Amino acid sequence: MPTLGEALARSARRHPEREAVVTPHERWTYASLDTRVGAAARHLAGLGLGKGDRLALLCGNDPGFIVTLYGALRLGAIFVPVNPRSAPPEVEFILGDCGATVFAFSPALAETAGQVRRGDVVFVETDELLAARGGGVAVAVEE
């Protein structure tokens, strides 16, 4: 049985031009999504995220969620979703409790993220991951 990351890569190979993500503002094919996920995974690896590490994500239902989730899974990291309605003290607790090494958040929740105090965690906006383009650190895909 393939992992979620493997399933995405397989779909990108089998149906590269089929739509994978549709929003009111854009449409991504499986090939495009796979490319974005690969770039995000390389960016996350450059931040120190690797196999077995935890990435916590504070994000609503948007493309940043998808790219961050699959980017983390591609590295073999453990994905920890954080309720976007959480207050900063709750987010701080979750980050400490799960042992997150990276905390990603959407720009819409930057105010909440900005009130979180965790010096032992790397913070990154999902827009930074969405803007990542190739290059950077080579990534070993979790098989």
3-class SS letters over 1-37: CCCHHHHHHHHHHHCCCCEEEECCCCEEEHHHHHHHH
Query: What confidence category does residue 5 fall into, taking pLDDT thresholds of 50, 70 and 90?
Result: confident
pLDDT, tens digit, for every residue of 47-94?
Answer: 999 999 999 999 999 999 999 999 999 999 999 999 999 999 999 999
pTM above 0.95, yes or no: no
Show the beta-strand stretches assigned E in 64-132. Answer: 78-82, 102-105, 122-125
CB-based burial label for 59 (10 Å; 0-12, 13-18, 19+):
buried
Percent of the chain with pLDDT over 70: 93
- What does the pLDDT read at residue 134? 55
pLDDT, tens digit, for every residue of 29-49?
Answer: 999 999 999 999 999 999 999
Q: Which helix (H) or strand (E) holds 58?
A: strand 54-58
